[in-house]
Amino acid sequence: MKTVTRQELIDYCLSFPFAYEDYPFDSITDAGLWTVMRHTGNRRSFAFIYVRNSKLCVNLKCHPFEADLLRQTYDDVNPGFHMNKTHWNTITLDGDVQMGELKRMILSSYNLITPRR
C-alpha cells in the first residue's frame, strides 16, 4: 500500500456527510496526538487517528464477527488500542491492508455510528 498520511486519512473521513475532526485528548498520551473523527448528528466517533511506535494507526468501529475475521486476515489489523476489543480494530498503516480495503473499513465504521432516521 502507498504511504498514507494523517492528513489524507482526515480528508477521506471528512468526505462523509456531517463528519468533523476533533482533538479531545491531551497530547501527552503514550500515542501522542489523537485525531478523532465524529458525526455532527450524535458526536459519536468512527475513527481515531494517531501514531504509535512511530507508525500511523487508525482505530475503526466494526461488527464483532467482522472484527475477528479482519484480524485473522491481516497481520496489521489488531484489537483496538485503548478501545473495546470486541467492537474496535486498530489498523497499522503501510502494512498489508490495501487502500481500497482501508477505505471500506472506514466507511463501514462511519455507517455503524450514523444516526438512524
Q: Roughly what angle, to the nearest 10 degrees, separates helices 6-14 and 99-113?
A: 50
Mean pLDDT (the chain) is 91
Q: Retrieve residue 65's grid coordinates.
A: 464477527
The CATH architecture to which 6-113 belongs is Alpha-Beta Complex (3.90)
pLDDT tens across 6-23, in order?
A: 999 999 999 999 999 998
Q: Retrieve residue 42's grid coordinates.
A: 450524535
Percent above pLDDT 90 for the chain: 78
pLDDT tens across 89-111, in order?
A: 999 998 999 999 999 999 999 99
What are the domain boundaries of the chain? 6-113
- Using only C-alpha atoms, what is the Rg of the chain? 13
